[in-house]
Amino acid sequence: YIVIEIIAHPQFKREGRNILSVLKLHYPQAVLGARIPVETLWGETTITVPPGTSSGAVIRIKGKGVPDLQSSGRGDHLVRVDVVIPTHITPAQKRLLKELSDLLPPLTPSDET
């Protein structure tokens, strides 16, 4: 008898030909944009996170997914952005965030999505 057991990968999830992963970002990286190294099935690559990226946004890395056995193509690697909000901040960080908050315009109902 042959027993095959499939164990979930701690970093990647497969969805058809596509590979899914999560990228944790700090608030300034999401607001200002950043170039971040990301591990794929095919090695490390650098992605560009556009300025103003929201938590839950998905960045596609074309051709870095699972090979298609019926053709020569591959799926994509989809990176979901998770903006991390710190729960403990220093007094200096709190002061800077308060200054930033005072500069931002108030949100309106049309800003909610």
pLDDT one-digit tens code per residue, 51-100: 999 999 999 999 999 988 888 889 999 999 999 998 999 999 999 999 99
pTM of the complete model: 0.81
In 3-state terms, what secondary structure has residue 11? coil
